[in-house]
Amino acid sequence: MMLFALWLLSLGLPTLWTQILIRCSYKSLCRRALLSDNDVVLQCEHPEALWYFSSIQEEEEPLLVSSLPNIRKLPGGSLQLTSPQPTQSGVYHCQDSAGALLVEYEIDFQDVGALHITHRGLGQVPLQNETAQLGGRVLVFTHWEPWQECNRCGEPGERKRLGYCYLEEEPLEKPMPCGLYLRGIVAHNGRLRPELQVEACHVPCKHSKETSQPYFIFDIYQLGTLTRDTWLTCPLASIYR
């Protein structure tokens, strides 16, 4: 029996079951777009590292991150963020005890709740590039990450890729993640959102690297004729009908 993907709520990130590790060169500023609610570690290898956070949404003095509940400094000096929220987008500044800059990250945590999901096999298409007036004429587009590996081998499977919302000024400037460009300005534009694209795949098994991936059925839900709006969730998996 052929299975049709109904709706994919799992993100299936390349770092599934682990944390995303972000690196940046010594004394450099690195800009990144990431997905909210996914744990991340910002690298800063210094045992006496001090971390400060400046929000892009409010003009305020940098906060020592020890005062933030879902953030902690790891023993080696790096910073761990657990389920970061879009409101935690901003600048993460790592310095030594003498106040010298070690590394700086400017992070845009894009809202996972606004994720636009498409499946090639269902004829769905990603969001198209769009020109908008956001304090000036800008191009809104999706910056795609590479495709993940197929989640099965020797049989039909799926692979996914994440895309982040980026803006580029016209005439062309260096693109920036949407949240970092807007700096807290509320823009009512449905194009300003991250994306997840899914497609079918079929790859041969490499037995030397093959791992067992059993197929689990977590639950079965029957839709009746009186059912109107129903929201189904299946974390870390796919939903089929």
- Domain with residue 36: its CATH number is 2.60.40.10
Kindly state whether residue 220 falls inside one of the protein's structural domains.
no
Give the pLDDT confidence of 49-106 residue by residue, as tens digits.
999 999 987 777 888 887 778 999 999 999 999 999 999 999 999 999 999 999 999 9
- Checking if the pLDDT of 208 tops 90, the result is no
Rounded CA-CA distance 212/221 in Å is 27
Q: Are residues 92 and 45 in the same domain?
A: yes
Q: Has residue 236 been placed in a domain?
A: no
The predicted structure's pLDDT at residue 92: 96
| pLDDT-wise least confident of 9-13, 147-151, 232-236 | 9-13
47 with 102, same domain: the answer is yes
Name the more confident of 165 and 17.
165
Residue that finishes a domain, picked among 65, 81, 110? 110
**Is 98 a member of any domain?**
yes
Confidence band (pLDDT; 50, 70, 90) for 134? Answer: confident
Does 136 share its domain with 106?
A: no
Beta-strand pair 157-169/137-144: antiparallel
Residue 5 has pLDDT above 80, yes or no: no
**Measured CA distances, 16 to 104, 204, 232, 236 (Å):** 25, 22, 21, 8
My answer on whether 105 and 141 are in the same domain is no
Confidence of residue 219 (pLDDT cuts 50, 70, 90): very low
Q: Please check whether residues 84 and 138 belong to one and the same domain.
A: no
Residue 230 located in a structural domain: no
Total domains, the chain = 2
- In the structure, what pLDDT confidence band is assigned to residue 183 with cuts at 50, 70 and 90? confident
Q: How many CA atoms lie within 13 A of 168 on its CB side?
A: 13
Distance CA 24, CA 240 (A): 40
| pLDDT at 111 > cutoff 50 | yes
**Domain match, 142 and 174 both:** yes
Domain interval for residue 68: 20-110
Q: What rounded mean pLDDT belongs to the chain? A: 82
- Read off φ and ψ for residue 121, nearest 5 degrees: -65, -15
